[in-house]
Structure 1
Amino acid sequence: MRELVVGFALGFLDFVWIKYVPFPFGGLGNSIAVWAVAAFLFTYYSRWSVMRAALSASVMLVVAVPSYYAAAALIQNDDWSYIWSAYSLLWMALGVVAGVVFGIAGVLARTVGPLRLPSLGAPGAVLLAELIMDVRRIGDPSYATADVVEYSVLLAVLAVLITVLLGRTWRDRALALACAVPLAGVGYLLMIATAFGG
């Protein structure tokens, strides 16, 4: 039940954020990385098993998609059919993947073992992966260079900040950030292999 409520809130408030918060912070509403971080935090603080975390995070992200389009329909009169469009279904499918990966990472990040620190670096890694994708746009006439740089700096700051806030010691924070760098490279390759590589 909690995942339904949180998913609805995530999708609805995400649209509100995009519509009313100025750039560069408003750009975070269009960020797949932010939704992945939300899935991580949801399970990190819920104290669930790995299987329950994967399922709950996936449900949360899937529910967030139609909630987002419902907000768009209510607030700016978008077509209600967007809720069940092919693009919406694609986002839901990717939400399942992100929910499984980051839901499990949220559990592993608080579990003693060799995967704890890499998992702790996962939120920073996905933000850095989006940063890499964003930096590729420098020089593209479709994007203002100043906006790209500004948003990239914001992503970098958030990647460090979330790792610092989640880490219990400075050693954990440093090692998690070290793990985040190669993980960001993997995440970037996965992003450009999907709908996010534009």
Structure 2
Amino acid sequence: MTDPKISMTTTNREVRRRHQVLTVAACGVLLGAVDLLLQRTLPYPWANLANSSAVWALGAFGIGWWLRAGWWRSALAGIVLLVVAVQVYHLTAAVVMDDDVQMLWSPTGIMWSAFGVLAGALFGAAGGLTHDRRPWLRPIAVAMPGAVLLAEAAMLVDRSDNPGRGPNYRTDSLQTAAIEAILGVALILLVARTNRVRLLALTAAIVLAAIGFAGFTVAGFGD
């Protein structure tokens, strides 16, 4: 006979996983829809944050941190979150702004979904690994959200002198960069549990931010 306690535990585990899947998908819907609406309603420089690739990456990190699962489940959750968010973003744009619904399967839409897979896997896994007990790995995972914000802040500073973007672009870019830099450091201090991890994570964030800046540049975000 099957032990009823084991059966109950298995059932509860399956129910919890289904709830987690639904929560991740719901968060993706909210991220995609609310992001577009905030871009249209917030004043600058805050509207830039809604249109920030780094902030979307934070969503994947946050879902991985919340899930408290293995790195691969956290990575999968991050992928689902961002891919759903990309599709809902374009669908919301079609409804609210009368954009072409074909953006959902256009080359641009597919490209952003591909970025969602990459960023979702990387930052979702990092969120999950913040709970890892290995002392060398946890600071790197904790550094990830701060690093991506610092990388994007550096990119905004680098392209703030672009004369073709209008007279207010430099001011908006520098203000957004300052907000992201402050937020990046604050997140590391908040996510880390000890001063040692905070110090190591801040150090790692500088290195990772340099790599992230190079990645943004290669991907064409710096143009």
Whole-angstrom CA distance in 1 between matches of 2:196 and 2:69: 26
Match of 1:37 in 2: 58
Summarize the alignment of residues 70-149 of structure 1 with structure 2, pairs less than 5 Å apart: 70-113=91-134, 114-143=136-165, 144-149=169-174
Q: Which amino acid aligns with 1:127?
A: L
Counterpart selection for 1:187 from 209, 212, 218: 212
Counterpart selection for 2:39 from 18, 25, 29: 18
Whole-angstrom CA distance in 2 between matches of 1:179 and 1:95: 24
Considering only aligned residues, what root-mean-square deviation do their CA atoms show, in Å?
A: 1.3
Counterpart selection for 1:9 from 18, 30, 34: 30
Whole-angstrom CA distance in 2 between matches of 1:32 and 1:77: 23
Whole-angstrom CA distance in 2 between matches of 1:101 and 1:24: 27
Displacement of 1:138 in angstroms is 2.9
Match of 1:151 in 2: 176
Whole-angstrom CA distance in 2 between matches of 1:101 and 1:169: 24
Deviation string 1:125-157 (CA, Å, 9 cap, x unpaired) is 000110111111132103432222111111111
Whole-angstrom CA distance in 1 between matches of 2:69 and 2:164: 43
Give ranges in structure 1 of 5+ residues lacking alignment.
none
| Contact 2:64/2:74 (8 A) holds in 1 | yes
Whole-angstrom CA distance in 2 between matches of 1:146 and 1:24: 8
Q: Structure 2 length as normaliser, TM-score?
A: 0.85
Summarize the alignment of residues 30-69 of structure 1 with structure 2, pairs less than 5 Å apart: 30-69=51-90
Pairing 1:166–2:187 present: no
Q: Which runs of 4+ in 1 moved over 3 A?
A: none
Matched residue SS, 1:142: helix
Displacement of 1:184 in angstroms is 0.3
Bigger shift: residues 130-139 or 32-41: 130-139
Q: Structure 1 length as normaliser, TM-score?
A: 0.95
Bigger shift: residues 150-159 or 169-178: 169-178
Bigger shift: residues 151-160 or 170-179: 170-179
Q: Which amino acid aligns with 1:45?
A: W
Whole-angstrom CA distance in 2 between matches of 1:176 and 1:50: 18
